Amino acid sequence: MEKKALLAVFFGTTCLPALEEDIGAVTSALEAAFPDWRVGRAFTSSMVRRALEQRAGLRVPSPARALEVLAAEGYTRVLVQSGHILPGLEYRKLEEEAMANAGRFARLTLGAPLLAGPEDYPAAARAVAADLPPRRGDAAVVLMGHGTDHPAHSAYRTLEQSFAALGREDVCIGTVEGAGGAEEVLARLKARPGVRRVELRPLLVVAGEHARNDMAGEGPDSWQSILTAGGFTVHCTLKGLGQYPGIREIFVRHGEEAAQ
């Protein structure tokens, strides 16, 4: 009988509440969708893995180590499901590790990240829009993503266009890294007549350190502080994408497509 395992792989987080609320929610959704598979977890960030072990005594393996263990335990069919948002640098690193270990198994496949195909953008926009406050003439929604130097960064613009197609032209997406930082977002908001209020949320699978510090922190360089100093009334919602049912459905769909 085929021995099957699903490895859910994320960048990771050192924020323990977000670890369960966001990553835990995605992992649980995969467990429900793959009841006959052993479901495990791995993080691509070595920095996060070290910090978790040092601060909390939690050992989360790298994808390569997790695959090594699965092979030693006799698993023959493995699905590696990405928990990343973009097919960027972290996903490509995962792809390389997975393919380097493919020979250990009779079959190994890799599930796509959140925004991988044209159907994923409207689906993700619908999932997030369903949780947003109603559109108001004096308000805008700012979603803060991580960003990357990889060409996959263009996905943020495509996703913003998908929000607009739903009638949510009030949604503005910016990133911590790459083009579209806080100052650029501030300029875009000031160019919108009548906008005085901002709903600020993370466009991250996990509402971890980036969300709590870079986005909603009390320091002068946080997005909340920059937008407030720019004259806007800002409300922060610390909710990772992993908590949105529609987002979890996309990850599950990608897993099911890879399994087939």
Residues belonging to the active site: 146
Scanning the structure block, which residue is given the tokens 């509440």?
A: 17
Edge-to-edge, what's the strand order for the sheet holding 233-236?
Answer: 171-175, 139-145, 197-202, 233-236
| Amino acid letter for position 10 | F
Beta strand pairing status for 233-236 and 197-202? parallel
Contact 17, 90 (CB under 8 A): no
Per-residue three-class SS string for the chain: CCCEEEEEEECCCCCHHHHHHHHHHHHHHHHHHCCCCEEEEEECCHHHHHHHHHHHCCCCCCHHHHHHHHHHCCCCEEEEEECCCCCCHHHHHHHHHHHHCHHHCCEEEEECCCCCCCCHHHHHHHHHHCCCCCCCCCEEEEEEECCCCCHHHHHHHHHHHHHHHCCCCCEEEEECCCCCCHHHHHHHHHCCCCCCEEEEEECCCCCCHHHHHHHCCCCCCCHHHHHHHCCCEEEECCCCHHHCHHHHHHHHHHHHHHHC
